[in-house]
Amino acid sequence: MDAMEKKIITDLDLKGKRVLIRVDFNVPMDKATGEITDDNRIRAALPTIEHAIRFGARVILMSHLGRPKGKVDPKYSLEKVAVRLGELLGKPVAFCPEFVGEKALKMAHELGDGEVLLLENTRFEPGEEKNDPDLAKTIASMGDLHVNDAFGTAHRAHASNVGVAQHLVSAAGFLMEKEIAFLGKVVENPEKPYVAILGGAKVSDKIGVIENLLKKADKLLIGGAMMFTFWKALGYKTGQSLVEADKVELARQLIDQAKNAGVDLMIPTDALAAEKMESGSMTKVCTAREGIPEGLMGLDIGPDTIHRFKNAMQGAKTVVWNGPMGVFEIDDFAQGTREIAKTLASLSQALTVIGGGDSAAAIEQFGLADRVTHVSTGGGASLEMLEGKEMPGVASIASKKKRKIWIAGNWKMNKTSSEGVEFAQALIKGCMTLTDQVEAVLCPPFVCLPGVVNACQGSAMKVGAQNMHPEDKGAFTGEISAPMLKDLGVTHVILGHSERRAIFGEIDGFICEKVKSALDHDLIPVFCVGEVLLEREEGKTFDVLEDQLRLGLKDLSIEQAESLVVAYEPVWAIGTGKVATADQAQEAIAYIRSVLAEIFDQATASQISILYGGSITPENFRPILSQPDVDGGLVGGASLKESFLELIQIAKELT
C-alpha cells in the first residue's frame, strides 16, 4: 500500500471549495469536568487543517468521540474540542450542534474562504457506523471535496470516511499519508534484517499479525501476557498468569510455522512474576524451565529476555513494535517495555515504527516518541494493517492516475443520424474543455459517424466506431473497413465487444485480425474482454481473461501494444442492473495488466489504459475510477444521456 499512489490534500485545488475533512478528535476527557486531558490527536490533525486554511478552503471538520451508540449524549459532545482547536489554530472555530441537518447544511454553505466549522459527533447518527448510503449522500451534500485524515478509523467502513467517498473525490490528509507510508513500508517492502516485536495480553488479538509477519520478518520477538500461552504450548508452568487455554494448540502451530519459514521466533526465557498486579508487590524472576509457581503471575519479561531481545534488535534495518512487554502502567513491571523502547530509540540507522495502541502510549510515557521514525495514531487500524488486511478507509481514497483516463460512449444501435448530431452538439456545448489527462470518445452507429465527426471537429471530443472488418475491401456484404473509417475522420474503434462475441459469434482469432488491421491504419482499438456470469461463478474469470488476451493480441509487437486501449466487460453486469464492486473491478483489471506484462513487458503494460465497462452511471463510477488500475469507462446506457457529461466531470476531478 504505497502512499504515493493515493491522492493527498496537496493534489486538490482547495480555493473556495467546501472541504469535508474526517479527523480523529477522539480525545480523552475528564469524566467529572468534561475537560480534555490530552490534546495530542487534535494537534496531529493541525498540519492538514492549516494547509486547507492557507489555500483558501472552507473547512468542515467531522469526528467521532467515544461510543454514544447512535444517540445524542451530551458527555460525548465535541463542543469543547472546537474551543481547544480554536486555541491551537489561533482563530475562531465555529461549532454546529448537529452532525447533519438543516442547520449543519446552512452553516457549511455560509462558510467563507479559510473559515473552519466543526460538526457535532458523527456517532450521534445511527447510520454512521452502518455506513448508511443515505447518510453518506447527505454528508456529501455539505461539501465539494473530501479529505480523510483519520487513520484511527481507517479499518472501519463508516459513512463519514468511506461512504462519502462514493460521492466526492477523497484524498488523504498529511497524517493519513504518513501512516500509509510508514506502515505500508513495513508491511509490503521492509528493508532487511526485519525485526518484529509483539506484546499485549492475548494471542487471539495478534493471530493475523503473527501469521503475516512470519512471511516477512527475520526475527519475531514475543512478550506481554501472550507469552504465557506460548509457554503453556512448550510445557512450561505458568502459575496464575493469563493464558488462553483455547489458543495453546494454535501457539504450537505458530512455533512450527516459524521453524518452517526460517523465522527466529524468540519466546521469553524468563519472566518477572508477583502475587498481585500492584505496586510494591514482592517480585520473583522465574525462568521458563522452572516455570511460574502457583500463586504467582507473570507481569513482565525477565532480565535475560531483555538482554536477548536488545541483542536481537542490533543491526536491524526495520523494526516494528506492537504491544507492551508487561504491565508498564505500574513502574514495578515496566522494565521490559522501557528497555525495548530505549533500544528502539537508539537504532538511528533503522526504520522504527510503533504500531499504535498501548505501545504508542508506552513510548510517549517514556519520553522517547520523538526518537523513533513513526508512532502510529491507530490502535486497531495499525493492527489490521500489519495483518495485511485491506483498510476500507484507505481503499476509498482516490488513487493518483498514472495514465490517461478514457470515457468512451458506446451508443450501440441507438439514435438516427440527425439525433446523433444533435446529441453530440449538446455534449460538446456542455464539455467545452478537457484536460490533457482525459479523453472523451463518442462511438455512434455507422450511419451517424459522418455527422458526428463533423459536429466534433474543432472540439476535444473524439469519435470512434463500434466495429469493423479486418479486410480493407472485398465481398463482405454489410461490413465496414478500417480505411473507410479513417476516411470519415474516425480515430477509435471498439473491437471484441461481448455482444459481437455472443450474438455474432466472433472468436478470438478473428478479433485479433481486426485489432491488427486497426493498428495498421492508425486507429486506436478499444479491445474488449470479459466473463459471463457462469464463468465467474465457477471461478474461471482469470482463465477466460487470459485466453481472450493472449489469443486476441497474438503476435502484436510492443510498439503496436502501446497504442492499445483495453476494456474489461463483466458480461454479467451489462444491461442487468448489476455492477461490479470497486474491488471486483480493480482485481480483474489488475490481473489483466499482469497478463499484458507477460505478453509484452512490464513497462508497456504499465502504460496501457484499461477501462471498466459494465452498467456505469454517475452514481457508481467514482469509487470504481478511484481504483489504481482503472483508467476510465466504456459506457453503454449512460452515454445516451447528458449524464455522460457527469462521467467526464468525475474523470476530470480524479486526474
Active-site positions read 497, 569
Q: How far apart are CA 384 and CA 470, in angstroms?
A: 52
Instruction: Work out the burial of residue 294: count CB atoms within 10 Å of its CB; fewer than 13 is exposed, 13-18 middle, 19 or more buried.
Output: exposed
Give the separation between CA 521 and CA 471, rounded to whole angstroms. 11
- For the record, the C-alpha cell of 553 comes out as 493480441
DSSP string, 437-499: TEEEEEE--GGGHHHHHHHHTTSS-EEEES--BSSSSSS-TT--BHHHHHHHT--EEEES-HH
Q: Which residues of 555-594 are buried (b: 16+ CB within 10 A; e: fewer)?
A: ebeeebbeebbbbbbbbbbbeeeebbebebbbbbbebbbe
Grid cell in block for residue 176: 493519513
Cα distance from N-terminal residue to C-terminal residue, the chain? 20
| Contact of 145 with 20, CB cutoff 8 Å | yes
Strand ranges inside 357-424, DSSP E: 374-375, 405-410
Residue 612 grid cell: 471498466
Per the omega criterion (within 30 degrees of 0), is the bond before 74 cis? no
CA distance 492 to 485: 9
**In sequence order, what are the residues at sequence separation of 6 or more whose Cβ sits closer than 8 angstroms to the Cβ of residue 110?**
none
